[in-house]
Amino acid sequence: MAVDLSMPILVVDDYNTMIRIIRNLLKQLGFDDIDDASDGSAALAKMKEKKYGLVISDWNMEPMTGYELLKEVRADGSLTRTPFIMVTAESKTENVIAAKKAGVNNYIVKPFNAQTLKAKIDAVFAD
């Protein structure tokens, strides 16, 4: 399935610079409907108001982490199918396994570039 460049994307990170970087990478890839949230609870509130085609979330945030957000999204019947990519600076195997068990669609380790992001997004929407 081709990736829908018009789908709304939610970028979740407590670090404004990282939000700006991911937003710029997404724009380079042709996406333009990009919202952001500063932590998991803010993201959850936005997800209840608007249907997102993809969530790209940092793992380490306060007060609600990306991992906690992922578990909430997967537990919510109306959000459970939302594609979810986790971004983290740590490539710990146990984190990757925990995220997979919680239902993450893909995982990106920082730092990354537009090609890596595109490959991860393409993999999420592959048949």
Give domain status of residue 123, yes or no: yes
The pLDDT score that the predictor gives to residue 50 is 97
In a domain, 2, yes or no: no
39: β partners: none
Domain interval for residue 69 = 37-49+64-84+96-127
Q: Is residue 10 part of a domain?
A: no
Q: Sheet with 34-37: list strands edge to edge.
A: 34-37, 9-12, 54-58, 84-88, 106-109
Q: Is residue 118 part of a domain?
A: yes
Read off the DSSP letter of residue 31. -
Coil, helix or strand at residue 2: coil
Q: Per the domain annotation, does 26 fall within a domain?
A: no
Q: Is 77 helix (H, G, I), strand (E, B) or coil?
A: coil
Q: 0.75 exceeded by the pTM?
A: yes
Model pLDDT for residues 72-88, shown as the tens digit of each residue: 999 999 999 999 999 99
Predicted confidence band of residue 90 (pLDDT cuts 50, 70, 90)? confident
**Residue 16 within a domain:** no
DSSP conformational letter for 126: -
pLDDT in tens, 15-47: 999 999 999 999 999 999 999 999 999 999 999
